[in-house]
């Protein structure tokens, strides 16, 4: 039995794929409507500790604070049986994950971090990139589950937190790309160029990235801004990455400037705004 906690934009479709692949699930989310979607296809836990009889528990929650609340505050960790594999697939803070793993190990529970990239579309299609931190033996035991969810499953390293570290660093890069891509394309547009023509050129040149290949064509230009990844979650990930840079004493001038821009955008946008709305926020700041 697999316990699955957090049935939001990502967790919902991921749990759905596991059910469709024939796995027996017990699911929980604080939002009752999200767990009701699994009525008839999975066991519905009334509280988070209801998933504790599972031998593998997957978490897909917003951040480390919520992961800690669920495991320590709500008492899930205390209720897990020795030998349980506890997998945090959220984009959490690697230093906090390490601490949780030590607490979990004292109870005989092995904690693994396995954050993902690939967005809501990747979660639905089972093509996520999954980056796993933790013992090789646990990675091998979990691999069949990960293969249902991901197209590319990588063991990032033995230390717990390795996956969470590279996930935050990846999102720092992705966020900086989107901000600078948006600034550049808006300047080109103001100069009279067509954004689609610019994207054609850049995508055959060295400035290309996920922002030019996917985010601008799919979410910004059509004005849908519906990638399913919130601006606040991106700022959270950038903060984790900057914390890692600080802790390791590595340079972070450009990263800090990117975070300052993103934090200003998040402040100005609605709390539930999509992260691609930073492009619209930049447009609104054009000098008359």
The DSSP result for 135-195, as a single string, is -HHHHHHHHHHHHHHEEEEEEEESSTTHHHHHHHHHHHHHHHHHHHHHHHHHHHHHTT--H
29 binds ligand NAD (CB under 6 A): yes
Instruction: Look at residues 93, 143, 138, 148 and name the one whose alpha carbon lies nearest to residue 111.
Output: 138
**C-beta closer to ligand NAD: residue 103 or 214:** 214
Mark residues 88-127: x for contact with ligand NAD by CB under 6 A, - for none: --xx------------------------xx-xx-------
**C-beta closer to ligand NAD: residue 171 or 181:** 171
Helix (H) or strand (E) holding 82: none
State in angstroms the smallest separation of the CB of 126 from ligand NAD: 14
Let me know if 167 is a catalytic residue: yes
Task: Kindly state the DSSP code that residue 45 receives in the 8-state scheme.
Answer: P
**C-beta closer to ligand NAD: residue 48 or 138:** 48
**C-beta closer to ligand NAD: residue 39 or 136:** 39
Kindly identify the residues of this chain, within the stretch 191-250, that bind ligand NAD according to CB under 6 A.
228-229, 233, 237
How many contiguous H segments (helices) and E segments (strands) does the chain have? 13, 9
Contact window for ligand NAD (CB under 6 A) among 25-33, 78-86, 173-181, 258-266: 25-33
**C-beta closer to ligand NAD: residue 237 or 277:** 237
Question: One of 98, 167, 215, 236 is an active-site residue; which one?
Answer: 167
**C-beta closer to ligand NAD: residue 219 or 281:** 219
State in angstroms the smallest separation of the CB of 30 from ligand NAD: 4
Report yes or no: 130 and 149 within 8 Å, Cβ to Cβ. yes
Coil, helix or strand at residue 58: strand
State in angstroms the smallest separation of the CB of 212 from ligand NAD: 18
Phi, psi of 233 (to 5 degrees): -65, -35
State in angstroms the smallest separation of the CB of 282 from ligand NAD: 21
Instruction: Look at residues 100, 57, 101 and name the one whose alpha carbon lies nearest to residue 79.
Output: 57
Report yes or no: 35 and 3 within 8 Å, Cβ to Cβ. no
In angstroms, the Cα distances linking 127 to 130, 146, 251, 268 are: 9, 10, 33, 33
State in angstroms the smallest separation of the CB of 7 from ligand NAD: 5
70 binds ligand NAD (CB under 6 A): yes
Give the whole-angstrom CA distance, residue 160 versus residue 133: 5
The correct pick among 9, 103, 203, 245 for binding ligand NAD (CB under 6 A) is 9
Instruction: Look at residues 182, 271, 276 and name the one whose alpha carbon lies nearest to residue 229.
Output: 276
259 binds ligand NAD (CB under 6 A): no
In angstroms, the Cα distances linking 77 to 58, 84, 100, 197, 284 are: 12, 10, 10, 53, 46
State in angstroms the smallest separation of the CB of 89 from ligand NAD: 7
Query: Which residues sit at the interface with ligand NAD, rule CB under 6 A?
Result: 5-11, 28-31, 34, 48, 60-63, 66, 69-70, 90-91, 116-117, 119-120, 228-229, 233, 237
Catalytic residues: 167
């Amino acid at each position: 039995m697999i316990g699955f906690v957090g049935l939001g934009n990502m967790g919902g479709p991921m749990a759905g794929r596991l059910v469709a692949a024939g796995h027996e699930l017990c699911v929980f989310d604080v939002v009752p409507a999200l767990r009701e979607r699994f009525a008839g296809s999975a066991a519905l836990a009334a509280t988070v500790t209801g998933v504790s009889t599972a031998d593998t528990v997957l978490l897909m929650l917003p951040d480390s604070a919520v992961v800690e609340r669920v495991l320590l505050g709500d008492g899930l960790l205390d209720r897990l049986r020795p030998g349980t594999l506890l997998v945090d697939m959220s984009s959490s803070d690697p230093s906090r994950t390490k601490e949780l793993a030590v607490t979990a190990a004292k109870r005989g529970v092995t904690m693994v971090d396995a954050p993902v990239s690939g967005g809501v579309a990747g979660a639905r299609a089972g093509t996520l990139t999954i980056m796993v931190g933790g013992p090789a033996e646990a990675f091998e035991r979990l691999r069949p589950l990960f293969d249902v969810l991901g197209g590319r499953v990588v063991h990032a390293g033995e230390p717990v937190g390795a996956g969470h570290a590279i996930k935050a660093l990846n999102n720092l890069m992705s966020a900086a790309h989107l901000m600078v891509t948006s600034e550049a394309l808006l300047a080109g547009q103001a100069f009279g160029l067509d954004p689609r023509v610019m994207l054609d050129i850049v995508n055959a040149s060295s400035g290309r990235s996920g922002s030019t290949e996917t985010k601008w064509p799919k979410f910004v230009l059509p004005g849908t801004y519906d990638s399913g990844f919130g601006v606040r979650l991106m700022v959270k990930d950038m903060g984790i990455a900057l914390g890692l840079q600080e802790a390791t004493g590595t340079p972070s001038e450009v990263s800090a400037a990117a975070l300052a821009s993103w934090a200003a955008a998040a402040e100005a946008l609605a709390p539930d705004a999509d992260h691609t709305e930073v492009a619209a926020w930049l447009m609104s700041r054009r000098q008359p």
